[in-house]
Chain A
Amino acid sequence: MPTRRQPAQSATTNADPKAAPNARAAGGRRASAKPDVRGVGPRGRISADDPRVTLEQEIGSDLYEPIPPFPIKTEREGEFYSLRDGEIFLNIGPHHPATHGVLRLVLKLSGEQIVDVDPVIGYLHRGVEKICENSDYYHVIDQVDPLEYLSSLFQEWPAVMAFEKLMDVEVPRRAEYIRVLTGELLRISSHTLYMGFMALDLGGLTPILYSFIERDEIVEMLASITGARMLFNYYRIGGVNGDLNHEFMSRLGDWMSRAGKQAEAITALLNENEIFLRRMRDVGTMDRATALRYGVTGANIRACGVPFDLRRAHPYSVYPEIDFNIPTREEGDSLARYLMRVDEIKESIRIIDQCLHQMPDGPIMAKLPRLLRPRPGRAWAAVEAPRGSLGVYAMSDGTDQPFRFRIHDPSFMHLGVVPHMLPGNLLADTMAIVSSLDPVMGGVDR
């Protein structure tokens, strides 16, 4: 989208959806007369989206119509931004109670029914990947930390893994076990929070507060070794920053003694609730082929019956030494995606239990120089984050800064399926579908 808009020639009310792109393509100049008044289109439309609309101008009833990105670049855009009889646009977001951050969904509605949807992202874009290319290897961890803000350890993990591959660093086994242990704890925290927000988006007020109890216990636990509750900044290239301590172990033991029961209590409020089940069942069904084509990963693809889990498919860290199941479900609807998280919590508790039993003694950091200068090369590392496979591609040119740094975020891939799942559903299903995919906008926009 160009930063500075031309005088608004809106295709919103064009009868022929293809007129605008064609006119643009034909001569490079618009056929319609150039409007005199700034901000007023050829049909007298004024839009608040136009930066040159001033307060003195009289505002018509079209004020809140979204105008398309101008000039219209694709046929799809032209088709979307033309309304048929009885249809309206509804702009959900970027600030809306149910969009989990700054996701903007431009819905085309016919009554309550969704006809079409255009997800707009980028409201949280800060160019983190570029910032990472300008900071040295140690500082990359701080930069990527806040992207996946609900489970920030998982954002650090692939980054440090990629750098370890670049530098051929052998990570001590104890450090790997600590990574798995803390990661799985955070996975539970993230999934519990997901269940609460799922209920909140469907109108249930209480489960979110029960979720936060669980999350609070876990982040307090992690705070005792990392010093932070949300952005931990804990994994290091070649190990972790700080060993497990007494406070962590006592909190963990305390929590483990009731973890299973507590998760049950949270879900009991929802899983046996007929209203909740009816809102979730057969809503936003994603079939296997679509899921595979769009690169859906994590719990969302396992809910479609594909047992794909990076911890098994491309084993990393110490996961080969740990025994756990990969739960799958066949339905592929919102309820299946929700129940997948419930199942994964149980598996994570098992993994934590095994970690505690198998954890060896030893160092937690590899010996590394102060200034990291890996040989030129490239590395790809991916982990199974709570939202799916989270990957990092790093390229070194021999200096102390990564030459290229790219993040593959699962939430971004999942949002791509939203336009295919929403049409035909009702407005209220938007929340059941988008929330069940569990996007985190920090990771999407980067």
Chain B
Amino acid sequence: MTALMRTMETVRGRVAAAVRSYAWDHLTLAERVVYLAGPVLLLGLGFAAVFGYWAGGPVVDFVAGRLGIVRFFVSVTAILLLTVPTAFVIIYMELKVIARMNLRVGPNRVGPFGAVMSVIHGLKVLSKEDFAPTGVDLGVFTLAPLITFLASVMTLLVVPFAPALVGQDLNIGLLYFFALGGLTVVGLLMAGWASFNKYSLLGGLRSAAQIVSYEIPLTLSVVGVIILAGTMSLNHIVAAQSGSALDWFVFKQPLAALIFFIAATAEANRTPFDMTEADSEIVAGFATEYSGMRFGFFFFAEYVNVFIVSALTATLFFGGWTAPFDSPVHVNLNWFDPFSISAPVWGAIVLSVLWFGTLFLALVVRLLGGRSWGVIDSLALGGLLLVLGLAGLIGLAAFISIDWIRDLSWFMAKTYVFVFTFVWMRATLPRVRIDQLMGFAWKWLLPASLLNLFVTATAVVLLNR
């Protein structure tokens, strides 16, 4: 009896302890979130399934009736997501390329060749304290980076990555670009004003003067292209340059291309026109008082801007997504119907390719690499090589035969050539002075762009007659 009771006591004590240890008070925050979110998620899924079954048709009809809006939301989401890797890649490029030009090594600790360094930078600004100094106008101070970031990101909406890969193919695409691109300065001005710091104020005012001045030659230089293409839709401008590299507008509008690139450099606040954040003069300009993710938004906006002006230079003057020459190899993927082979056979093919390919490559590694490569090592390397090789083959086949991948590749290649040029200029050139900057815009670029416009218009009128 007593033994049974003792056992009962022990069991009850253990249960009580167990209950106590798993009680709500003893849970960590993450466990609580999981315990709450699990049922909610399950319930939500169930509800969605029932709702979908019950109201699926009407919902589909609703979406189909508003495809424009749905497309807008989807493309905006995609663009917002795109900016993150883009900024990371350009920041990494800047770290590494400038380092090589300075005869340094650059980041080489995080990831292969330091490639994850910019991600770490991003995480760093994300984890910093959200800090606003005394005396700032908090509302304006908080809004400013958002406006700058969104203004630059939203211009990506009209950039054609490939004929069908464009957020919105607006027929006033270029106007939209200049209108939204001009909004960037509002954010910079707000940051400069709200920061309660004279360096910031000077930076903000500089950016206002600079960007407003350079908008004019920037816009005027593009008018020649609009006249030649007869449209303001960026996709149609690219289509007007299709053919070979000789059809690019840079050969018909060389002066405009030069003016556009210079003005775009000023528009993106890049060296040698980085007056707004001239570190040796006004510390960090408008961003002096910013830290953490607020600064991160400015930082992101800057690099997204670099990408955008490079993309636009490629689009307007260098044929955008069109290939500079006809592909000598044509592969028609249609000769092979993947559905003619049943699933088990597909599985056998894939498994055998993976298995024997890995074995073969591991053998090669083991033979060439010598004794330092053990069985596991060589198998791992063989598998890696196989996957890389297959990926390369598939990519090549896709590049040759699938249109939008080829177009996207050409577009990205051209864009990153200009991104590289921006980085290169940053490593090489000193900064101009503010009066030289303004004088250059008004005395040289503006007359030159007007001259270019005049010559283009005259030529078009005379030749079309």
Q: Measuring CB to CB, which residues of chain A are less than 8 angstroms from any residue of chain B? A: 59, 61, 63-64, 88-91, 96-98, 112, 199-206, 209-210, 213, 269-270, 273, 275-276, 278-279, 426-431
B contact residues around A429 at 8 Å (CB): 433
A contact residues around B282 at 8 Å (CB): 427
B135 to A275, Cβ gap below 8 A? no
Interface size on B, residues (CB 8 A): 33
Query: Of the 9-residue stretches B45-53, B96-104, B234-242, B371-379, which lies at the interface with chain A?
Result: B96-104
Output the least CB separation between B202 and chain A (Å): 7
A112 to B434, Cβ gap below 8 A? yes
Chain B positions 196-220 with a Cβ under 8 Å from a chain A Cβ: 196-199, 202, 206
A contact residues around B427 at 8 Å (CB): 205-206
How far is B206's CA from A145's CA once the two chains are assembled, in angstroms?
Answer: 43
Closest 3 pairs (CB-CB, A-B)? A203-B431, A204-B430, A98-B280
Query: Of the 9-residue stretches B148-156, B270-278, B447-455, which lies at the interface with chain A?
Result: B270-278
A269 to B428, Cβ gap below 8 A? yes
B429 at the interface (CB under 8 A from A): yes
Which of B197, B282, B427, B433 is most buried by chain A, counting CB atoms within 10 A of its CB?
A: B433
Output the least CB separation between B23 and chain A (Å): 43
A199 to B430, Cβ gap below 8 A? yes
A428 to B428, Cβ gap below 8 A? no
B428 to A203, Cβ gap below 8 A? no
A205 to B433, Cβ gap below 8 A? no
Output the least CB separation between B360 and chain A (Å): 47
Chain B positions 403-438 with a Cβ under 8 Å from a chain A Cβ: 426-436
How far is B433's CA from A427's CA once the two chains are assembled, in angstroms?
Answer: 9
Chain A residue nearest to B435 in the complex (CB)? A426
B98 to A205, Cβ gap below 8 A? yes
Chain B residue nearest to A113 in the complex (CB)? B435
Find B430's partner among A112, A210, A279, A427 (CB 8 Å cutoff): A279
B contact residues around A112 at 8 Å (CB): 202, 206, 434-435
Find B436's partner among A203, A209, A278 (CB 8 Å cutoff): A278
B391 at the interface (CB under 8 A from A): no
B contact residues around A210 at 8 Å (CB): 102-103
B198 to A203, Cβ gap below 8 A? no
A contact residues around B428 at 8 Å (CB): 204, 206, 269
Which of B202, B281, B434 is most buried by chain A, counting CB atoms within 10 A of its CB?
A: B281
A426 to B102, Cβ gap below 8 A? no
Chain B residue nearest to A198 in the complex (CB)? B430
Chain A residue nearest to B102 in the complex (CB)? A209
How far is B101's CA from A204's CA once the two chains are assembled, in angstroms?
Answer: 12
B283 at the interface (CB under 8 A from A): yes
| Contacts known (A59-B134, A275-B430); A202 close to B435, Cβ less than 8 A | no
B31 at the interface (CB under 8 A from A): no
A contact residues around B272 at 8 Å (CB): 203, 275
A contact residues around B430 at 8 Å (CB): 199, 202-204, 270, 273, 275-276, 279
| Contacts known (A112-B202, A201-B280, A206-B427); A428 close to B103, Cβ less than 8 A | no
B contact residues around A270 at 8 Å (CB): 430
Which of B101, B196, B202 is most buried by chain A, counting CB atoms within 10 A of its CB?
A: B202
Given contacts A203-B274, A210-B102, 10 further A-B contacts (CB under 8 A): A64-B197, A88-B198, A203-B278, A205-B102, A205-B426, A210-B103, A273-B430, A275-B272, A276-B430, A427-B434
B281 to A275, Cβ gap below 8 A? no
B contact residues around A199 at 8 Å (CB): 430
B98 to A98, Cβ gap below 8 A? no
Chain A residue nearest to B279 in the complex (CB)? A97
25 CB-based A-B contacts, threshold 8 Å: A59-B134, A61-B135, A61-B196, A91-B198, A97-B280, A98-B280, A112-B434, A203-B272, A203-B279, A203-B280, A203-B430, A205-B98, A205-B426, A206-B428, A209-B104, A273-B429, A275-B272, A275-B429, A275-B431, A279-B431, A426-B435, A427-B282, A428-B431, A429-B433, A431-B281
B contact residues around A426 at 8 Å (CB): 433-435
Output the least CB separation between A436 and chain B (Å): 13
How far is B436's CA from A64's CA once the two chains are assembled, in angstroms?
Answer: 30
Output the least CB separation between A158 and chain B (Å): 32
Output the least CB separation between B133 and chain A (Å): 10
A contact residues around B202 at 8 Å (CB): 90, 112, 427
Chain A residue nearest to B272 in the complex (CB)? A275
Chain B residue nearest to A283 in the complex (CB)? B433
| Contacts known (A59-B135, A200-B280, A205-B102); A275 close to B432, Cβ less than 8 A | yes
A206 to B433, Cβ gap below 8 A? no
B contact residues around A273 at 8 Å (CB): 429-430
B contact residues around A96 at 8 Å (CB): 283
Find B198's partner among A90, A205, A206, A279 (CB 8 Å cutoff): A90
Chain B positions 8-40 with a Cβ under 8 Å from a chain A Cβ: none
How far is B84's CA from A219's CA once the two chains are assembled, in angstroms?
Answer: 44
How far is B433's CA from A59's CA once the two chains are assembled, in angstroms?
Answer: 35
A contact residues around B198 at 8 Å (CB): 64, 88-91
B contact residues around A275 at 8 Å (CB): 272, 429-432
How far is B193's CA from A61's CA once the two chains are assembled, in angstroms?
Answer: 13
B432 to A204, Cβ gap below 8 A? no
B281 to A428, Cβ gap below 8 A? yes
How far is B430's CA from A276's CA once the two chains are assembled, in angstroms?
Answer: 6
How far is B101's CA from A112's CA once the two chains are assembled, in angstroms?
Answer: 33
How far is B202's CA from A281's CA once the two chains are assembled, in angstroms?
Answer: 24
| Contacts known (A98-B280, A203-B271); A63 close to B429, Cβ less than 8 A | no
Output the least CB separation between A438 and chain B (Å): 15
Output the least CB separation between B275 and chain A (Å): 8
Chain B positions 253-288 with a Cβ under 8 Å from a chain A Cβ: 271-272, 274, 278-283
Chain B residue nearest to A204 in the complex (CB)? B430
A contact residues around B433 at 8 Å (CB): 278-279, 426, 428-429
Chain B positions 72-121 with a Cβ under 8 Å from a chain A Cβ: 98, 101-104
B contact residues around A204 at 8 Å (CB): 428-431
A98 to B281, Cβ gap below 8 A? yes
Output the least CB separation between A178 and chain B (Å): 32
B contact residues around A203 at 8 Å (CB): 271-272, 274, 278-280, 429-431
Chain A residue nearest to B433 in the complex (CB)? A428
Output the least CB separation between A3 and chain B (Å): 27
Chain A residue nearest to B271 in the complex (CB)? A203
How far is B271's CA from A319's CA once the two chains are assembled, in angstroms?
Answer: 45
B281 to A430, Cβ gap below 8 A? yes
Output the least CB separation between A215 and chain B (Å): 14
Which of B134, B206, B432 is most buried by chain A, counting CB atoms within 10 A of its CB?
A: B432
B103 to A202, Cβ gap below 8 A? no
A202 to B431, Cβ gap below 8 A? yes
B278 to A428, Cβ gap below 8 A? yes
Which of B134, B196, B282 is most buried by chain A, counting CB atoms within 10 A of its CB?
A: B282
How far is B435's CA from A209's CA once the two chains are assembled, in angstroms?
Answer: 29
Which of B101, B278, B430, B434 is most buried by chain A, counting CB atoms within 10 A of its CB?
A: B430
How far is B271's CA from A429's CA once the two chains are assembled, in angstroms?
Answer: 17
Find A202's partner among B196, B199, B280, B434 (CB 8 Å cutoff): B280
B contact residues around A431 at 8 Å (CB): 280-281
How far is B430's CA from A278's CA once the two chains are assembled, in angstroms?
Answer: 11
Output the least CB separation between A236 and chain B (Å): 37
Chain B residue nearest to A425 in the complex (CB)? B433
A contact residues around B206 at 8 Å (CB): 112
How far is B434's CA from A430's CA once the two chains are assembled, in angstroms?
Answer: 13
Chain B residue nearest to A111 in the complex (CB)? B205
Which of B196, B280, B426, B428 is most buried by chain A, counting CB atoms within 10 A of its CB?
A: B280
